[in-house]
Amino acid sequence: MRYISTRGTAPALTFEEAMLTGLARDGGLYVPENIPTLTAAQIADMAGKSYEDVAFAVMRPFIGDTFSDAQFRELIAKAYAGFGHAARAPLVQLAPNHFLLELFHGPTLAFKDFAMQLIGQMFQAALSRSGDRVTIVGATSGDTGSAAIEAFRGLSNVDVFILFPHGRVSEVQRRQMTTPSESNVHALAVDGDFDDCQAAVKDMFNDFAFREDVKLAGVNSINWGRVLAQVVYYFTAAVSLGAPHREVSFTVPTGNFGDIFAGYIAKKMGLPIADLVVATNRNDILHRTLETGAYTKEGVTPTISPSMDIQVSSNFERALFYAYGGDGATVAAQMDDLKSGGFEISQGAYQMLQDTFKSGRASEEDTKAMIKSCRADSGELLCPHSAVGVHVAQAHLGATPMVTLATAHPAKFPDAVKDASGVVAPLPPRMADLYDRPERVTRVANDLAALQAVIKERI
């Protein structure tokens, strides 16, 4: 299995190389040269299996010979052993034909743990084999950073630097990043917003001298290994609800388009998914794009669902690549236009996107009202991101079972949840001392040179 860039000019890589590299050298994102499919019989065979067994069946065709079957099974087992629920991704029912996929039972209480815990295991295995050392630099709107730090803390072949927007992450998110005491963990509070952090990381990857010098590796949501790990729970959920004999739809609270893109891959692999619904908060570039065909940047407004506060959605480039039939040159040209504000998607590609993705947005009022009513109607306490999803899903309910992804635990956003519902969401007992641990953080100007200097000095 080879991986090619969405912009068409970077060299093709193996799974291991694509995972360790992150962003391609032509600025594009890696995608598999072709997407393997599973037969209906193979999907039917997943019924009743453990999460780990399904994970192996779904991901194995993508990893080539990077790991042996036995080793890959072992890495999967280790990745999910620290989860607080035996099912890993349990499904609960909210209403007739509407289900919630709880993806928040990992060590940092958000779905990012599904990918990051596995990526941590895979990096460690690959690096200890080669003897290399890498510097992981990532940008986060809150959850990626804590998940990355949790996955890489204490590993001997990795330094991890996480850039987060100062003052714009929740206290739980911040503490999850600033309280680990391992010396290979570096939390950097940047004076800017998430897009500034993301842009700084992109610029570091495009600075080839710096990239070589510090052996830069990326684990942001553009990392193919992360997208792949997220494909798995679409299978476990759909099979629980009757796939492959029955279609299932999904609504996904969306920011960088990684999670919903994983759903698209599941569909391409043969999982009978009817609708894939993109749910945004009022930072709605994706919803506007799907409604109008124009991908146009606007400023970011902070919301109570901060992990979805984005101006530009990085994984959307992968969807564009497929919409343009794999034409990297066109994708590269459109991404260039984005620098000056945006671009129009051409008719054929727009049609494909509209056929594949539905969308909706939730205002702050919608989100709060949903946290409150969902608690009253079903007993489920939603985090604000999951509430955006449930709100949007309600407009798409029908004869096909709908699964809304619950992307974080309510205790990760206790203030917003309490404000909306009056209910205090306690942290699970295993992390109850989070507020007592000392914090360690470096405040840095929103300036590429300053950030690079801090990184060089620390490694």
Ligand X SMILES: *Cc1c(COP(=O)(O)O)cnc(C)c1O
Taking alpha carbons only, the member of 110, 89, 109 closest to residue 100 is 89
Q: For Cα atoms 300, 305, 310, give the angle at the middle one, nearest 5 degrees.
A: 30
Tell me the window of 11-19, 128-136, 250-258, 372-380 that interacts with ligand X (CB under 6 A). Answer: 250-258
SS3 339: helix
Could you give the CA distance from residue 306 to residue 320 in angstroms, rounded to a whole number?
A: 25
Verify whether residue 112 is a known catalytic residue.
yes
Alpha helices in 215-257 (DSSP H): 224-240
Q: How many residues bind ligand X (CB under 6 A)?
A: 16
Q: Which residues pair with 158 in a beta bridge?
A: 134
CB of 109 to ligand X, least distance (A): 9
SS3 204: helix
Contact flag: residue 359 with ligand X (CB under 6 A): no
Cβ closest to ligand X, residue 140 vs residue 330 = 140
Could you give the CA distance from residue 17 to residue 37 in angstroms, rounded to a whole number?
A: 23
Contact flag: residue 307 with ligand X (CB under 6 A): yes
CB of 175 to ligand X, least distance (A): 16
Contact flag: residue 112 with ligand X (CB under 6 A): yes
For every residue of 77-140, DSSP letters joined together read HHHHHT-SSTTSS-EEEEETTEEEEE---STTSBTHHHHHHHHHHHHHHHHHHHT--EEEEEE-
Tell me the window of 235-243, 252-260, 320-328, 350-358 that interacts with ligand X (CB under 6 A). Answer: 252-260
The single residue among 110, 216, 300, 319 that binds ligand X, judged by CB under 6 A, is 110
Contact flag: residue 174 with ligand X (CB under 6 A): no
Alpha helices in 131-245 (DSSP H): 143-152, 171-178, 194-206, 208-214, 224-240
Binding mask 403-422 for ligand X (x = CB under 6 A): ----xx--------------
CB of 271 to ligand X, least distance (A): 18
Could you give the CA distance from residue 310 to residue 194 in angstroms, rounded to a whole number?
A: 7
Contact flag: residue 113 with ligand X (CB under 6 A): no
Contact flag: residue 143 with ligand X (CB under 6 A): yes
Cβ closest to ligand X, residue 72 vs residue 99 = 99
CB of 265 to ligand X, least distance (A): 13
The single residue among 16, 150, 259, 275 that binds ligand X, judged by CB under 6 A, is 259
CB of 255 to ligand X, least distance (A): 3
Q: Which residues pair with 92 in a beta bridge?
A: 100
Contact flag: residue 80 with ligand X (CB under 6 A): no
| Cα radius of gyration rounded to whole Å, the chain | 20
SS3 404: strand
Contact flag: residue 193 with ligand X (CB under 6 A): no
Could you give the CA distance from residue 459 to residue 450 in angstroms, rounded to a whole number?
A: 15
Contact flag: residue 256 with ligand X (CB under 6 A): yes
The single residue among 107, 120, 258, 270 that binds ligand X, judged by CB under 6 A, is 258
Cβ closest to ligand X, residue 80 vs residue 261 = 261
Contact footprint for ligand X (CB under 6 A): 110, 112, 143, 221, 253-259, 307-308, 385, 407-408
